[in-house]
Structures are given as C-alpha cells and as structure tokens.
Structure 1
Amino acid sequence: MRGTKRSTQALDNPLAEQAIEWMVLFRSGEATPEDYQRFSTWSAADPRHAQIWARMQGVLQRSFAPIREVNSRAPGQVEAVERIVLRPAASPTRRKVLRGALMLGAVGVATGILANRSMPLAALRADLHTGTGQRKSFTLPDGSTLVLNARSAADIDFSPALRRVRLHQGELIATVAADAARPFVIETEHGTARALGTRFLVRREPEQSLALVLEHSILVRNGSQEQVLQSGQAAYFNRDGITRVTEDIRSKAAWADGMLVVNDETLAEVIATLRTYRKGFIRLSPAAARLRVLGAFPLDDTDNVLRSLEQTMPISVRNFGNLLVMIDVR
C-alpha cells in the first residue's frame, strides 16, 4: 500500500514529467554530450530534481507483471501496449514508445495507475473532490455554491469571522452568498482571491494560480501585493507577484457548461485539459505540443475531440485500447 501511494505521488508530481523526458532521451541512444551537460545543470538546479530522478529510476525497475493483471479485467488493452513497447529498438517509433512505456512504468503498480487516473488518490482526503471526467456542484453551509472541474479538490474552513475554501488542485467556480460579517476567500499555495461580488473562477497550476472574475469583483493577494479585479478581468498570481491577463479569457469558464473553448492556445494546453477528462494516458510529442489550436470541443467526449483535432491539424493520433494515446506530427 505504501509503495502504491509513493508511486502515485510520483505521478502527480509535475517534476515527474521532466524526469521522464530525460529518461526517454537517455534510453533512446540519441543523447549528446551537450544533453548530459544540460541534465547535470537541471539536476543541480533544485534538490527536488535529483530526488524525483532517483524515484523515477527506482520505479522503472519494477516489472510489467502487475500490469498484466489488469488484462484479466480489460482483455486485449494491455497486450496492445506491450506489443508496441517490445518492438525492436531500431523501430522509427521507438522514441515515442519509450515515452508511453515510461509513463506506465512510473506508477509501478497497475491498480495504482487505474485508480489514480480515475480519481486522484490524494484528493480523497479533501472535503470536496471530483474524479477524472467529473464536474460537480456543491452547496456550502452559507448558501454559496462551488462548481468543481474534473480532478479537483478543496477543503472548507468556515468560522464566525471568515469563510475560507482551500483549493488543493484543479479549479472551481464560486458563486458567493452575501455575508458582510464574513469575507469569502479562495486560498491556494500561491495566494488568495477574496470575493467582493458574486461569481469568480480560481485555478491552481503547479507554479501559479489563476483568478478570473465572472461577475462583480474580487481582491487578489499574494502576501505582499494585492489587486482588485473587475468583471471580465483575470490575473495569475504566486509569491513572486500578480500578473494581469490582458486579453478576455472568460471562455476559460466554459468547462462549467461541458465545453472546452480554445482561442489560439498550444496543443499542449489543450491536451493538459483533456487529461483531466480521460482515464487513459495521452503522450504528446514536443513538435505536436507547439502547434496552435482554435475551436470549441465537448469535454465529455474526448474521443470525439481527438478525432476532430486529427482531422483539422497536421497530427496523427494513435490509440492503443483505452489505456494509451500517442500524438505526433504527420
């Protein structure tokens, strides 16, 4: 049980993706002396980098045996992945295959993979939480409502003097009931957004948080700074500062209506959203990640979204059962 928990935490760690990319490069046989120098710089830049590298190296030593156990419940899906993984190293798809295999190996235990993709295990400890592909509305004791997007988690801390919601992961939209005696605050590790009106969105990202005002106004604080945002305005905030968003991004709240509205964003950003709505893994090549996307897509049908992207963009989308999708440029 402890091993599964540690492996799941490794997967949730945003630094794990960076470690995986280094592993893919080194195992591809294509690494140059300059690449090893860049890795040395990356490893020394932060103690967490060396720690996640060591952890990911360790979990890769585990075999695929536990994953095969899943096959008894989902026949054919795991074999499809393993056949691709076991292709000769000279195959032109080997580098992409290594990415997928490393992502699977990072969890170490098959049940951990499936459970974490369905519901972030760390989120289960939160007062309010949603799983993969879930959106849910909660009514709070004061009559306010919170709508949580997929794979989100928050704790409620109401006292006679303050109404506080701690957003641990994901994003939410708050519609706040009036109470002049008790301020309403959404808190992340990067700062707070205090309601001065009725409706606003907060999204927690690894390095910063986003606040978007949908009605009236809010006060954003990061500890040493504060800014008032009016309806339609947005800002990113963390301990380093508060940065206003110059364009209108109210469409980012369209998820509450089951839609993903994309206005000239990278494919990497689009796929990051789809991952919260899809239980399998999606691997995206660096070349494809840089492509720009424009459109509106239904969040509750990720297969349809992937087909639409493949039809309208210069990319190939390869499905290996429901467990793995690989996307690359054509």
Structure 2
Amino acid sequence: MSLFEPANTQRLDQDVVEQALQWMVTVQSGVSTEAELLACQHWRAQSAQHELAWQRLTGLNTDIRDSTRMLPAAGARTLLRSRNAPGRRTLLKGFAGLGVMLATGYGVRERVLLPELFSDYRTATGERRQLTLAEGVDLTLDTHTALDTRTTAAGTELFLSLGRVLVSAGDIRLSTANGQVLPAPRSRLVISHNLPWQAGTQVQVLSGSASIKLARGDSLSLDAGQQVTFDSQTDSTPRPVTVGADAWVNGLLIAERMPLGQVIAQLNLYRRGVVRCDPQVAALRVSGSFSIDRPDASLDLLTRVLPIRVQRVFGYWANVVAA
C-alpha cells in the first residue's frame, strides 16, 4: 500500500493540513527554537486529526529543510519568527513550495520565491491578469508571473523575472536575465522566462516582428510565426511557433504530441498543491485540448486516454503513475 493510499482513510480538514504543513516547515527550517518545537508537540497532542495530518505529511518524506538553506541563517531566523501572522503564513507556505520543488526536481534557482512576493506586478496560482500600461501596451500575465517596471536611460523597460506574458506592443522594451526584446509597433508576442519545462527565455511572435539583443552579445530578428528559446549557452535558431502558444489566455493547454511530463508540469502551475509525474510515464506523447482552469478535471481526462492513474492525498498532492 502506498503513502498516497493510507490504510486510515479518514478525511482531514484542509485547515488542519495547512497547519501541519506550517509546523513541518518551522521544525525543519534549521532555525526553530526549543519553544517552537514544544509548541509543535503541543499542537500535535491537541487532537487526533492534528497527529494524523502530521504523520501523513512526515510519511511523504519531504524534507523542507533544504529549501531554507538558500537563505542565510540569520535571515531565515528573522523571517520565521515574524510577529505578523499573515506574513508568516505566506512565508511558510512559500518555504513549503520551495521544498516541494526540490523534491520534484525543479531547479529552485530558476523559480525563486522573492520575485513573486515583491515584484510590481505578480500573479498567484491559477490567476491570469490583464494590464494596460501608460505607454499603450496591453499585457496579459499568466499564472506565477513576476514583472517589474524600471526606468533606464532609454526610457521605461519591463523586466520579466519569472513566468509568461502576452504583449500587445506599443513602444516598449521587455528584458529578462537572458536578453532584451524590442517588439515592432502593433506586434503581438508571448514572452516566457524560466518555466519549469523550459530553461532560459522564449519569445514567440504571433503577429508583427521583434528584435532581440541577447545578454551574451548576439542579436537576431523574428517575424510572425517564429519563436526562439535562448539563455547563456543554448542555440538560438528560430523555429515555427508552437501550436496554441497563446491558448493559455483563454484557459486552455493545447498539446500536440507533447510529452506527458511537460503537460503535467504545466497543469501543476495552475493547481493548488503539487502534481508529480513518474519518470516511467513522463515520455508518453499527448495530443488534445485541456483546461488549465480545471486542472484536476484535465488530470482525470488524461487517465481516460493514457495508461496512467492519479494517486491523490489530501486533495493537495497528486502523483501520476502507470496504470
């Protein structure tokens, strides 16, 4: 019997699960005090539900301690001991997310938490946001996107530190850590940076054109229907735009012989909780249209067309494995 199918099938209140998750982050942070450890023990002893939630979480063997090693001990200690309860809750959930990303193999450096907390414009799990800037630029921010505005000698510039954005361009420049994108007037393009299934930056020109100045010194131009992915090392040869490049704006994921692992990685961005894909089935090819607004329904649809099944625990974790 797996950890995702416990012998005790008692359902747990979602608030209790989140409390257990917060206590686990605190205890495994490496900077918790003796008083906090005693408080955790007291919380566990308060009710059978508390202890059951704790035991199920610890049974998943996800060590959150690694996620806080990114921060200096003094900084982690200050944040974990914050007196602001809502801020502490948000922080602990953020640490938990970092721990989960480590456990699922995502590079934490590519998906840092801080830009999502402190950027000028940002979106939460499952959220998409439309903006119109003073420069006459219309933007649609995808889920888990962090975007900043900064003033340079050349004028206003947008900086995408994480996520994906649809740009209907006026006079604007948009940069990432890998380079600068300059859309032609009335162009429409999708720019993404450091997505879980994509290293570096990708630019997809849906209409019009764009020029790109790579941080490593190269320059290139893209016309409508072309896309390019680049970072400090990879080849930057333009290719045809992927089918359904902007389908996410309308709540859809269009897959055309897409590896199942990538489909799951995309659905994971829109779902509260964590979805993992077993490497044994990650290479299965998927074609079809899936809802990102209803990711669990999309997971169920996948089980009807592929030889896979979904193991769930708490309604929070999901594991896609061979049927």
Q: Against the structure 1 CA distance between its residues 163 and 191, is the aligned structure 2 distance closer, same or farther, given a 3 Å change threshold?
A: same
Aligned length: 253
Q: Against the structure 1 CA distance between its residues 325 and 232, is the aligned structure 2 distance closer, same or farther, given a 3 Å change threshold?
A: same
For 1:123, the equivalent position in structure 2 comes to 116
Whole-Å separation in 2 of the counterparts to 1:81 and 1:66? 10
Whole-Å separation in 2 of the counterparts to 1:294 and 1:303? 17
> CA deviation digits over 1:155-209, x for unaligned, max 9?
11246733311000001011112x4xxxx21111111111113211111026311
Q: Against the structure 1 CA distance between its residues 175 and 248, is the aligned structure 2 distance closer, same or farther, given a 3 Å change threshold?
A: closer
For 1:209, the equivalent position in structure 2 comes to 201
Give 2:255's match in structure 1, choosing from 252, 262, 275: 262
1:114 Cα deviation (Å)? 3.2
Q: Does 1:222 align with 2:214?
A: yes
Give 1:196's match in structure 2, choosing from 184, 188, 191: 184
TM-score, structure 1 normalization: 0.66
Is the 1:120–1:151 contact (alpha carbons within 8 Å) kept by the matching residues of 2? no
Whole-Å separation in 2 of the counterparts to 1:230 and 1:276? 29
Is the 1:214–1:250 contact (alpha carbons within 8 Å) kept by the matching residues of 2? no
Whole-Å separation in 2 of the counterparts to 1:272 and 1:76? 31
Q: Against the structure 1 CA distance between its residues 113 and 274, is the aligned structure 2 distance closer, same or farther, given a 3 Å change threshold?
A: farther
Whole-Å separation in 2 of the counterparts to 1:297 and 1:68? 44
For 1:280, the equivalent position in structure 2 comes to 273
**DSSP-derived class of the 2:280 partner:** helix
For 2:103, the equivalent position in structure 1 comes to none
Whole-Å separation in 2 of the counterparts to 1:137 and 1:191? 24
Please show how residues 128-139 of structure 1 align to structure 2 within 5 Å: 128-139=121-132
> CA deviation digits over 1:58-90, x for unaligned, max 9?
758988x869969x9xx969946844854xxxx
For 1:324, the equivalent position in structure 2 comes to 317
For 2:5, the equivalent position in structure 1 comes to none
Q: Against the structure 1 CA distance between its residues 256 and 201, is the aligned structure 2 distance closer, same or farther, given a 3 Å change threshold?
A: same
Q: Does 1:142 align with 2:142?
A: no
One-letter amino acid matched to 1:139? T
**DSSP-derived class of the 1:283 partner:** strand
For 1:311, the equivalent position in structure 2 comes to 304
**DSSP-derived class of the 1:289 partner:** coil
Q: Against the structure 1 CA distance between its residues 199 and 106, is the aligned structure 2 distance closer, same or farther, given a 3 Å change threshold?
A: same
Is the 2:144–2:163 contact (alpha carbons within 8 Å) kept by the matching residues of 1? yes
Whole-Å separation in 2 of the counterparts to 1:162 and 1:201? 22
Is the 2:308–2:321 contact (alpha carbons within 8 Å) kept by the matching residues of 1? yes
Give 2:283's match in structure 1, choosing from 290, 294, 306: 290
Is the 1:172–1:202 contact (alpha carbons within 8 Å) kept by the matching residues of 2? yes
Whole-Å separation in 2 of the counterparts to 1:68 and 1:274? 37
1:303 Cα deviation (Å)? 0.9
1:105 Cα deviation (Å)? 6.2
One-letter amino acid matched to 1:309? L
For 2:25, the equivalent position in structure 1 comes to none
Please show how residues 37-56 of structure 1 align to structure 2 within 5 Å: none
Whole-Å separation in 2 of the counterparts to 1:309 and 1:113? 32
Is the 1:225–1:242 contact (alpha carbons within 8 Å) kept by the matching residues of 2? no
Is the 1:77–1:321 contact (alpha carbons within 8 Å) kept by the matching residues of 2? no
For 1:114, the equivalent position in structure 2 comes to 93
**DSSP-derived class of the 1:132 partner:** coil
For 1:46, the equivalent position in structure 2 comes to none
One-letter amino acid matched to 2:261? A
Single out whichever of 240-249 and 195-204 deviates more from structure 2.
Answer: 240-249
Q: Against the structure 1 CA distance between its residues 286 and 231, is the aligned structure 2 distance closer, same or farther, given a 3 Å change threshold?
A: same
Give 1:244's match in structure 2, choosing from 217, 237, 243: 237
Whole-Å separation in 2 of the counterparts to 1:66 and 1:167? 39
Q: Against the structure 1 CA distance between its residues 300 and 191, is the aligned structure 2 distance closer, same or farther, given a 3 Å change threshold?
A: same
1:122 Cα deviation (Å)? 3.4
For 1:186, the equivalent position in structure 2 comes to 174
Whole-Å separation in 2 of the counterparts to 1:158 and 1:298? 38
1:312 Cα deviation (Å)? 1.1
Q: Against the structure 1 CA distance between its residues 296 and 113, is the aligned structure 2 distance closer, same or farther, given a 3 Å change threshold?
A: farther
Whole-Å separation in 1 of the counterparts to 2:159 and 2:177? 9
| Identical counterparts, % of pairs | 23
Whole-Å separation in 2 of the counterparts to 1:68 and 1:280? 26
> CA deviation digits over 1:15-52, x for unaligned, max 9?
xxxxxxxxxxxxxxxxxxxxxxxxxxxxxxxxxxxxxx
Whole-Å separation in 1 of the counterparts to 2:42 and 2:319? 20
Is the 2:115–2:162 contact (alpha carbons within 8 Å) kept by the matching residues of 1? no
For 1:235, the equivalent position in structure 2 comes to 228
TM-score, structure 2 normalization: 0.67
